[in-house]
């Protein structure tokens, strides 16, 4: 066990596994809700300051539909609230779960390959 623990090839392989797991997480993150928040403040001499905040949420589905909801409330006087709901569906390119989930499925397959490579490295050293 000490020989395996201090082996630089094994340490390198373990670090590579961390990178591989992160790559899978990045591919999975594409289909999770994405949140955003932006804001602004406007100051003009002789006028009341104007504060704006714009939260936004977007989601990409397996069939390629991109849904987003954004709001732009005026925080200074409580008026002029705007909400935008957007749905976008590509019809000619990138349509369907087979095409849209390909990168995630490739990442899952690569994760399995990387597990087998690590197992093979362990067996080759022993």
Q: Are the beta carbons of 20 and 110 closer than 8 angstroms?
A: yes
Q: Residue 65, exposed/middle/buried by CB under 10 A (0-12, 13-18, 19+)?
A: middle
Which pLDDT value is given to residue 5? 72
Global confidence as pTM? 0.62
The closest of 78, 73, 80, 76 to 37, measured between CA atoms, is: 73
pLDDT in tens, the chain (126 residues): 666 677 787 788 888 888 888 988 998 898 899 999 988 888 888 888 878 788 899 998 888 889 999 887 766 666 667 888 999 887 766 567 888 888 889 989 988 988 888 888 777 766
Biggest alpha carbon–alpha carbon distance for the chain:
78
Which pLDDT value is given to residue 100? 80
Q: Dihedral sign for Cα 105, 106, 109, 114, please.
A: negative
Give CA–CA dist 12/31, Å, rounded: 30
């Amino acid at each position: 066990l000490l020989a395996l623990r201090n082996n630089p090839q094994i340490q390198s392989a373990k670090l590579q596994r961390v990178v591989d797991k992160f790559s899978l997480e990045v591919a999975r993150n594409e289909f999770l809700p994405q949140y955003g928040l932006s804001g602004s403040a406007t100051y003009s001499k002789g006028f009341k300051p104007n504060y704006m905040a714009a939260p936004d949420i977007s989601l990409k589905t397996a069939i390629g539909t991109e849904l987003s909801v954004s709001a732009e409330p005026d925080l200074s006087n409580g008026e002029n609230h705007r909400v935008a709901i957007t749905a976008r569906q590509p019809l000619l390119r990138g349509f369907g779960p087979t095409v849209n989930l390909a990168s995630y499925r490739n990442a899952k397959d690569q994760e399995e390959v990387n597990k087998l490579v690590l197992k093979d490295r362990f067996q080759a050293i022993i």
